[in-house]
Amino acid sequence: MSFTKTALLPVPPDEAFALLTQPERLRRWQTVSAYVDLRAGGDYRWTISPGHVAAGAYREVEPGRRVVFGWGWDGSDDLPPDASIVTLIVEPTAGGSKVTLIHEGLNEEQAKLHAEGWNHYFERLERLATSGDAGPDEWAFVPEDMTPVTASEAVLAVIQPILRNLTPEDRPKPTPCAEFTAHDVGQHLLDSIGQLGALAGGSVVNPEHGSLENRVSVMAAQAIDAWRVVDLDGTVPGPGGDMPASFAAGILPLELALHGWDLAQASGQDVHISDELVGYLQTVAGSVVPASRRNGTFGPEVPADDNATPVDRLAAFAGRTPLRT
């Protein structure tokens, strides 16, 4: 069976094609992270939502016009990578571009499930092309199976819009981290992601170009991939000797969440995060924060206001006082 979907976008064909193929654009409407080798025979790997990774290889690429690629899911026996075919066609229209998606090689149940998915994400694509902002993706709010890896993916989805909305004027602004400007927090976050990926034995490379959102997204995806293959029941080598892998892995989503909150406070933005995800992070913080206070990583817990949100309470537990209430 196959599924076909069209969208009319008020942007020229080259921009429509970029929205469908470039990682920075894909993260705005369809993916949490995206690796793309856009050439015939090149691989792609997209984390669509926490715990759900689509992968395959490109079959045909006509820049600005058409792309054909295999589609399937990591870890799936039912529809593994490259088991079906997606074709995306971009055509000019009087008002911009028409995008046609054809997804072939599906059984009846797969076609039904993928129709739901493509309808959801094409609505976000149209919203992005029309308004410049697709908004938070509710499908990324609560992972089906909460682990350090899926929690990291969910938190990354939460902070990407915050990072994307930062401006040069925000760089020197104060943050809830004493003596750290927004620029300092961003640099510290990049360093932390690199170190946490290295704990898992991964190689995390800072792109050193593009926006902070791009650098955090690329590096976090590399670190998450490293933790994805670690046995969390075992240990990993740490600065002071071996430590439980589950403990070390839990630091990554906590770092992303707290520093994302810091930058939101500095720039006057809100943090759109689910109570379920904050509850998981609070559990992680219950072991990570007290242990880290001994080396000065976190300050003493501070009181939270009566009207504080769950994420504000998490920040207060980590020693942060909000700049605004």
pLDDT in 10s for each residue of the chain, 325 residues: 899 999 999 999 999 999 999 999 999 999 999 999 999 999 999 999 999 999 999 999 999 999 999 999 999 999 999 999 999 999 999 999 999 999 999 999 999 999 999 999 999 999 999 999 999 999 999 999 999 999 999 999 999 999 999 999 999 999 998 789 999 999 999 999 999 999 999 999 999 788 999 999 999 999 999 999 999 999 999 888 899 999 999 999 999 999 999 999 999 999 999 999 999 999 999 999 887 765 667 888 899 888 899 999 999 999 999 986 5
Tokens 């620029």, residue? Answer: 183
Distance CA 229, CA 231 (A): 7
Return the SS3 of 193: helix
- Decide: residue 11, CB within 10 A, 0-12 exposed, 13-18 middle, 19+ buried: middle
Give start-end residues of each CATH 3.30.530.20 domain in the chain: 2-131
DSSP letters along 249-301, please? HHHHHHHHHHHHHHHHHHHT------HHHHHHHHHHHHHHHHHHHTTTSS---
- Decide: residue 216, CB within 10 A, 0-12 exposed, 13-18 middle, 19+ buried: buried
Among candidates 176, 138, 119, 124, which has minimal Cα distance to 298?
Answer: 176
Give start-end residues of each CATH 1.20.120.450 domain in the chain: 141-317
Q: What is the pLDDT of residue 273?
A: 96
Tokens 């039912």, residue? Answer: 78
Distance CA 126, CA 101 (A): 13
Distance CA 125, CA 135 (A): 10
Q: Are 250 and 149 in contact (CB under 8 A)?
A: no
CATH 3.30.530.20 fits 2-131, yes or no: yes
* Class of CATH domain 141-317: mainly alpha
The alpha carbons of the chain give a radius of gyration, in whole angstroms, of 21
Give CA separation, 240 vs 70, 112, 199, 284, in Å. Answer: 45, 51, 12, 20
Q: Are 58 and 42 in contact (CB under 8 A)?
A: yes
Q: What is the pLDDT of residue 258?
A: 97
